[in-house]
Amino acid sequence: MKQSDNKETGSTSPVSLNQRAEDNLRFIRDTMEGASVFTGVSGMGYMGAGLSALPAAWLAAQQTSDAAWIMVWMLELVIATAIAFSLLLRKTARQGKSVLNASGRKLLLAFLPTMAVGALLTLSYFLQGRVSLLPGIWLGLYGAAVMTAGVWSVRAIPVMGALFMMLAAGVLLAAVPADLMLALGFGGLHIIFGFWIWRYHGG
């Protein structure tokens, strides 16, 4: 009986151990692959930011001074950022994740430097009285930042960034109304891609 028991144990134990090892490796691989992409970007946040940009574009177009025009867009930046970031936090909390996990940090580190350059150029060009160049710069730098950061997020994000850069080319190289292009970018593209993310990537 003992020899039979030993034979049975010897025949089943390696299979069991191998199966458990394969399951553990599969779990580790899936976890690492999931951690490499930040899925907390909120489609609702993008849509909210896009909806806030539409009246901002209309209001900015009514302004008669550069200072008033840029003030409208700076206020819109604050409102849109608050909407998008608050809903991003809500989505990541619902997922049981943190904005500052490994993939989230990579996304922020890819996004923020370009935005910092945009802030510096905005201040510099405003002080020099060259405000007419700012819409193209905003669209282009935002598109570049989104394309770069999108490597660490869902696939739709880099596509949106590329379209922002196309709008930037339209403003910088052709006589296209700047506020219209800003409305199409920060309004229209955010709403369209926000809906796509909400529909296919969990909100």
Three-class HEC string of 12-46? HHHHHHHHHHHHHHHHHHHHHHHHCCCCCCCHHHH
pTM of the predicted model, to two decimals? 0.79
Domain ranges of the chain: 1-34, 43-193
Alpha carbons 34 and 4: distance in angstroms, whole number = 45
The dihedral formed by the CA atoms of 173, 178, 184 and 185, expressed in degrees to the nearest 10? 70
- Could you list the pLDDT tens digit for every one of the 203 residues in the chain? 545 554 444 544 555 666 666 665 555 554 544 445 666 688 899 999 999 999 999 999 999 999 999 999 999 999 999 999 999 889 888 877 777 777 778 888 888 999 999 999 999 999 999 999 999 999 999 999 999 888 877 888 999 999 999 999 999 998 789 999 999 999 999 999 999 999 887 77
